[in-house]
Amino acid sequence: MSDTAEVDEFQDAVEPSPAPNADGIAFIGSDGGGGENDEKTFDVTHEELSLIRAQIAAEYPEDYQTLSDSYLCSVASKPYSKDITIRRPYDYTMEKLKALMNWRRGNAVFLEETLEMVSIPGTGKENEKASVENPDRFTKAKALATSLNYGSMYWHGLDKEGRPILWIRCGRMPWYPDVEAQVNSLILLADAGIKAMPKGTTDFVVISDSNSPPPPNPQFMINVLQALVKGYPDRLSLLVSCPVGTIIQMIMKVLLPLMPGRLASKIVLVREEDTIPKLAAILKGGKDDIPDFLGGTCSHDGLYPVDGTYPERTLKFDYRGMVRRLEEATKEFSEAQSS
């Protein structure tokens, strides 16, 4: 893979793909709106989209459906980094997509099935047969469940543009995490959020409650950064950390120089006095959606209690309830947009 494709971290964001037109165009390019983050894009034809889709499906049959047509069009439509007056060449686009899929093949595929080994859909019980047939994977599944059970990361609600919001509650994070399990739980959650996005949406928002964070774990921070850059390029629309204290400032001083510029620009550190107006401007329901742990009135703890929704189970965290609520929120948003 070329250095350019690695560094570019593709700015493959958020423009919804318009309905197909009679000219065979799957994605209609734009001259950009003149804003700070606006960018010129180019048309992508249905023939080109079909070719990209077919090649990805042929080489990655187990995982190709994780990339929507809107996302593929967004990747293909961007200016070429070596000559911004032209669109990315087909080979360059495929190189970037294959880098993403290769990362997923080694890190993200089958995590949902792994979780089901300790939480059978419908009953939430452990799969005793799986524990005998594949004890190593079963151990990985239990570690994944333990990481989710902290209730420190979950999807809840949307922003004003319909993007799902991943909440991170630093005060619930373990001081000495199982790094592999913690990163795997983040990958599992990211995939679940992407799958539940409204049609045409390709990125999400992260809001971090940065009160009382645990001591920094360098390996965890590096692994998360690698996941964002290699596995979820430009899936992050915005990360808001509030209120910002000394530990978070120290972490960001370490991480920001390691980040591609486009990723670093999406991270916003918010002071305590600015938290309410900042979140009100982001959240779909404005001030009414601000949680009580960040100075608002909305409670998350009924849905995501400290001890879990199912304390008698291996997977105490209500993972499937979280997914269902997110799907309901995106359906409601989509219906409101079309009415």
CATH of the domain at 266: 3.40.525.10
Say yes or no: 183 and 323 in one domain: yes
- Whether residue 224 is contained in a domain is answered as yes
- pLDDT score of 20: 52
- pLDDT score of 58: 95
- pLDDT score of 9: 40
Say yes or no: 183 and 288 in one domain: yes
List of residues 6+ apart from 310 with CB closer than 8 A: 124, 316, 318
Which parts of the chain sit beneath pLDDT 50? 1-18, 35-37
Say yes or no: 97 and 169 in one domain: no
- pLDDT score of 319: 98
Boundaries of domain holding 73: 3-107
Say yes or no: 95 and 201 in one domain: no
Domain endpoint, select from 45, 78, 107: 107
Domain count, the chain: 2
Q: Are 309 and 145 in contact (CB under 8 A)?
A: no
- pLDDT score of 8: 44
- Whether residue 116 is contained in a domain is answered as no
Give CA 293 to chain center in angstroms.
22
- Whether residue 113 is contained in a domain is answered as no
- Whether residue 234 is contained in a domain is answered as yes
Say yes or no: 47 and 158 in one domain: no
Say yes or no: 186 and 315 in one domain: yes
- Whether residue 142 is contained in a domain is answered as no
Q: Are 76 and 93 in contact (CB under 8 A)?
A: yes
